[in-house]
Structure 1
Amino acid sequence: MIRAVIIDDIEQARITFKKDLEVYAPDIQVVDEASGVVEGAKLLKHMKIDILFLDIQMQDGSGFDLLDILPEIPFKIIFITASDAHAIKAFRYAAIDYLLKPVDPDELIEALKKFRNHNHNEQDNYRLLNESLKQSNKVQERLALHAQDKIHIVQIADIIRCESNVNYTEFFFTNSKRIVVSRTLKDFEDILGELGFFRVHQSHLVNTKMIQEFVKVEGGHLIMSDGKMIPVSTRKRADVVKMLEQL
C-alpha cells in the first residue's frame, strides 16, 4: 500500500478527499491527517510516508511554511489549491502536480498516475514554486523541465527555441545544451507565450530575442542565434512579420 497524509485546515475537505481516494485510488492508505502547519510538521517529522496531499493556504500559515520546517522532504507532494490564476501559473512553471478544489476525479487519477511513474526528488521544484508564488508582479525567470533522467531548473532567457516531436518537446539553449521533455509544444506555448516566445510553425516555438534574421524567400524562415534555420508556416508569416516590426 502507498502511505499518505492529508494536511488541510478544513475538516470537510479532508473527509471528502479521503472518500475520493477510497473510490479512485484504493491502493493509497491515508495513515494520518492534520489541520495546519504546526500539527502537520510534528506529524511528518516522526512518520514515513510516500505521498503528501497538502493545502497551500491554511489558518496558521502556508504549505511552504510547513516544508521549510522539515529537515528533508523524502516523499512526493501533490498540492491542493483553490482556483487562483497566479497560483496555477506558478505550478506550471515549476512542473509540480496540483489539484484544484473541488477535486475533479479525472485530474486526481492523472496526478496519481504521474506519481506512480516518477521517482524524482522535487525539492528544487518546491523552491521554484514558492518563488513563483511570491513574485506575482514580476517576470518569471526560471522554468522546471522534467526530463527522463532528472528535473532541470533552467533560466528562461537562455532558451533559444523549442521543437515539437509528437508528444515530446526538445529545448535548445545558448550553451548548446539540449533537454527533451515529455510534454507537448502547446503546453510550453501557453507558459512562455507571454515571455517573448512566439509559435512560428506547428513544430517550432522561438525566443524572439534570439532571432537574427527573417529570410523571406522560399516560403520564409528565421535564422536563430545558434545559426539554425527555422521554417515559418504560411499561415503564420503575416503574424511573424508583424511581431518582428514590434521588436
Structure 2
Amino acid sequence: MAAQVIAYVAAQVPGAAHQPDHSEPTVTTVLVCDNALLRIGLQDILRGTPFAPAETTSSAIPAVVHDIVSELALVLIEAGQNTSHMLEVIRQVRGLAPQARIIALADQFDLGFVRLGHEAGVNGFCLTATAPETLIKSLELVMVGESILPFAVLRAIMDEAPQKQDQPFQDNSVAGGCLSDLKACKLSAREMQILSCLREGAPNKLIARKLEITEATIKVHVKAILRKIGAANRTQAAMWASQHLTQRGGASVNV
C-alpha cells in the first residue's frame, strides 16, 4: 500500500501570508548555509514554492534571524562538520524564534547529533541527497507539526534497540551506580575532555584536531570511557555526559 502524505494545509502554518501575485501562501523562511553549492541548489529547488527563502545567511551570522523574527516560520540549517558550532547556532535561532520550525540538513546524521539536535530545538532532519519533491513534502509535514527523521537514522535506532534489550539488568544497575558518582568512574583529565566532546556529538576526527592527538588515540580513550561509565556506545556516553557533566561544579570541561 502506498504511503499517505498529510495534505499541506496553509491555514495551519504559522507565519504564512498570502501574496497578491501567488495562489499559495509564502512561509517566511531563512536558509542558514555555509556551502555555496548547496545554498544555490536549495534556492533553486525552493524557488516558486511557499518555502522560497526570504533571507540567506552563513552560520557565522545567525543574527539575521532577529531582523524578521516576528514573521519567521521556518529555518533551514546546514548541519556541517563542526557539530558543536552548529548546535550552538540552532540554540541561538531557537532562542530568537521560539515558534519557528527548524530543519537540519546534512549529508548524514548520527544518533548522537539527532538526540542533541532535538534537545536544541530541531523539528526535522533531512538529508541533502533527498529528492526535491520529497524535500518539499517534508517541509510541509514539519510545518503542520510533524517530525521528520531519515530512515537510515530510524534503522540505526531499531538496530540498537535489540542490543539494549539483551543487556542484563544488573549491568544497568552497575552503570547507574557509576553515573550517580562521577568520581567513582575515575576518568582522567583527558577522558573528561573527550567525553565533553562526545556530549556535543563531535566525531573522532574533530576531537583529534581539537586536542592535537591522533584519531587512534581518541579511539583508545573512547573505549576506556565507555567501559568506565558503563555505556554501550557513543550515543549512550553522550546522553550520560549531557545529564551528569554539568551537574557538578568543575565537571564540565571546555575544549
TM-score (norm: length of structure 2): 0.42
Structure number with the higher helix fraction is 2
Structure with greater contact order relative to length (CA < 8 Å, sep ≥ 6): 2
